[in-house]
Amino acid sequence: MAVAPQLPSFRLDGCRALVAGASSGIGLACAAALVQSGAHVFMAARGADRLRDAVAAMADLGGTAEGLALDLTDIDAMRSAVAENGPFDVLVNSMGHARHGPALETTPEDFDAVMNVNVRAAYFLAQAVARGLVQAGRPGSIIQISSQMGHVGGIDRGVYCAAKHAVEGMTKTMAIEWGGHGIRVNTLSPTFIRTPLTQSTFDNPERRAWIESRIKLGRVGEVEDIMGAVVYLASPASALVTGTSLRVDGGWTAE
């Protein structure tokens, strides 16, 4: 008699997760998704007041979370925080920075500001979490919130695209190097997602019409569209998934 296979679990009970950039927007949604899936979430962000409110919101969901008021671009401080509170079974890095404008007008200051957050800090945060897992002899899942712009080009987004393409590249290498330790490394690449920071873009009728014309499903993204994807990548349901990108882009990059 055939034995039916069992669906792998999407639950994260007993997991310790670190979400960077967790006080608002996509990061807050990721933290909420992990909390609702059973993880104990450490929420890292610079703004102590907003972070305090975000942690309280996790309690309202019936989950457990702690706040880490921290500038993650301070590599020494970040490493100390990870060592003190880890090891983390799951990392979701949602911190990000953008300075959009024509490539002919990019300044070194713009370039450095974006790369410092989106590449340098992202790289060393993943490294710190992976080191903790290797030292503890534990597997884990590292998820970088990238972008559809890590797979295509975009007008006025030369530096941002460069940064996100770099994240995609380093993710592949980390997945290759750390796979033997059971550490999976992936990106989650959203399209335009409505958040407090992006609302001004959607309030511009011409920009919104252009965005919706590129998204094959005909609507902009909401933070809820990210939540199931991040749980999948964090959980045993994606046990054989590493070194790749899960694109939550409504079909933007399909062409």
**Catalytic: which of 42, 88, 123, 160?**
160
Kindly report the length of the chain: 255
Contact residues for 191 (Cβ-Cβ < 8 A; gap 6+):
148, 211, 215, 220, 221, 248, 249, 250, 252
CA 195 – CA 219 distance, rounded (Å): 14
**232 flagged as catalytic:** no
Omega of the bond leading into 108 within 30 degrees of 0 (cis): no
Q: What angle do CA 187, 149, 25 make, to 5 degrees?
A: 65
- The answer to whether 11 and 17 have CB atoms below 8 angstroms apart is no
Provide the annotated active-site residues: 160
